[in-house]
Amino acid sequence: MLFVFVHCVVLGADTRATSDSLHSGTAADTQKTTDMLSSNLTIFSMNSCRNPRVIMAVNILQDMLFRYRGMIGAHLILGGVDCARSHLYRVGPYGSMDKVPYLVMGSGKLPAMGILEDRFKGNMDLEEAKALVSDAIHAGIMKSPYNYKRLEKKTPARYKYKPDTTPVLSQTLTLELCMTRFK
């Protein structure tokens, strides 16, 4: 998960691959693609004696992935800061590219995206940004359909009270109906 603000890009990640649709070939493709990108950027830096811009890295990825027409199964997030400003891109396996303010990938992306959509602001300070990324990752881990069953088995609940011994003091149910007309 990444998001961008003012002069910084914040990155956070769960280190486990949990999606059933991910295979070892996908991880290998992604590793090889990032290694090749790193090599190209290093060669550019050595030849020109200057740092490459983020858009240059995106263009290298796009060219490489488009050339193989989706046969490289790499879904990439590329973020960085250069002389222009901070940038964040999603690059697909066919070389498609989107510039975005924040991005989430993986099996827990829906709950993590919900946290980001609710709390993301473009003018956050670094500590707020770190807390937001941490909360989004936690939501992604806990609500991931692939992680949930494994986490449920590994972390038994620790309650002070025996089941069914805590009384319910009150219970209120509220039903709200909201209708909006679109013209």
- Give the C-alpha separation, 104 to 161, whole Å: 38
Residue type, 108: G
CB 142 within 8 A of CB 154: no
Predicted structure pTM score? 0.71
Sign of the Cα pseudo-torsion (11, 62, 31, 111, in order): positive
Crossing angle for the helix pair 126-143 and 147-154, to the nearest 10 degrees:
90
Domains and CATH numbers, the chain: 24-154 (3.60.20.10)
Tell me the average pLDDT of the chain.
80
Residue type, 11: L
- The tokens for 47 are 């030849």
Q: Give pLDDT tens digits for 52-99.
A: 999 999 999 999 999 998 888 888 999 998 887 889 999 999 999 999
pLDDT of residue 182: 44
Q: Give pLDDT tens digits for 121-148.
A: 878 888 898 899 999 998 988 877 666 5
